[in-house]
Amino acid sequence: MSTPSAETSATNDTPAQTAPAKGHTIALVDDDRNILASVSIGLQAEGFSTRVYADGASALKALLENPPDLAVFDIKMPRMDGLELLQRLREKTSLPVIFLTSKDGEPDEALGLALGADDYIAKPFSQRLLVARIRAILRRLDARRADAAPSGEAAPELIRRGRLAMDPARHGVMWNEVPVSLTVTEFLILEALATRPGVIKSRNQLMDAAYSDDIYVDDRTIDSHIKRLRRKFRQADPTFSAIETLYGAGYSFAET
């Protein structure tokens, strides 16, 4: 990860806590302590609170016991790399995760998305880009939480399409009455497809549904999200085939 240098560094195994707690909390996991310090300082300047961890093994327990709002993982780390850390987190939580990858890390990117990462950024990158990606994901989370909070307004209606049930207010998904755990990005893509069964949605339309205007992702990212959605639903139902591909055009949802 390429970032400005900083003079401070994090201690191993113990998360560095920041003073301001009024913003969202971001966990950073990287074995390079200078990177941890510089990115942490940059995020604090943008109003975030940060916790930093020097390896995946020490981060896992803390992230499960005291979850932040979002986590940023480097992939290449000792003891437990970012891929293994994400895999073990996804067994118990849908905590939003952004992966940091090297320029030639395309296989890592694809595997990270398959395991449940919400986004990835190739190194080197600017602090501005990282902050934009973080804010885009958090905006979606905040919108879901606002919908779920009690208010005088009616909650969004449940989406029922055959064996699929989606609760936009609670970010809940059921298939054949079996819960399916989705990330925010996965939920938004599925919602865009299920809202109009049979209608083909292009990759660009799905990108518009899942990402804000200031975030660029390529076609491969949407394809990886679709593969992961299918994999998750097939864990609940090995015969799942409701997300259909029309090659060269996009994807659609078949109400079964």
pLDDT of residue 168: 81
**Cα-based angle 29, 138, 8 (whole degrees, multiple of 5):** 35
Distance of CA 222 to the CA centre of its chain: 13
Confidence at residue 216, expressed as pLDDT on a 0 to 100 scale: 62
Reported as type and span, the H/E element at residue 133 is helix 127-148
Listed by start position, the domains of the chain span 25-145, 153-253
The backbone torsions φ and ψ at residue 215, rounded to the nearest 5 degrees and listed phi first, read -115, 130
Are 255 and 159 spatial neighbours (Cβ–Cβ below 8 Å)? no
Helix, coil or strand: residue 190 = helix
User: Could you tell me if 56 and 29 are in contact, meaning their C-beta atoms sit under 8 angstroms apart?
Assistant: yes
Determine the Cα–Cα distance for residues 116 and 228; give it in Å rounded to an integer.
7
On the 0-12 / 13-18 / 19+ scale of CB atoms within 10 A, 17 is: exposed
Distance (Å, rounded) from C-alpha 96 to C-alpha 137? Answer: 8
- Domain 153-253: state its class: mainly alpha
Structural contact between residues 186 and 225, judged by C-beta atoms closer than 8 angstroms: yes
Main-chain phi, psi angles of 186, to 5 degrees = -60, -45
Report the half-sphere exposure of 3 (CA within 13 A, side-chain side). Answer: 25
Residue 204, classed as helix, strand or coil, is: helix
Q: What is the pLDDT of residue 120?
A: 81
Q: What pLDDT, on a 0 to 100 scale, did the predictor assign at position 13? A: 41
Q: How far apart are alpha carbons 82 and 86 in whole angstroms?
A: 6
Strands 164-167 and 159-161: antiparallel
pLDDT for res 15: 42
pTM: 0.64
Tell me the pLDDT of the chain (256 aa) as tens digits: 444 333 333 434 434 443 333 589 999 999 888 888 989 999 999 999 999 999 898 899 999 999 999 999 998 888 898 999 999 998 888 899 998 887 566 677 777 777 788 888 877 778 888 898 898 888 877 766 665 555 555 556 789 999 999 988 777 899 999 989 887 788 889 999 999 999 999 998 998 888 766 566 666 778 888 998 999 999 999 999 999 999 989 999 998 7
Structural fold of domain 25-145: Rossmann fold (3.40.50)
Whats the size of the chain, residue-wise? Answer: 256
Contact 255, 245 (CB under 8 A): no
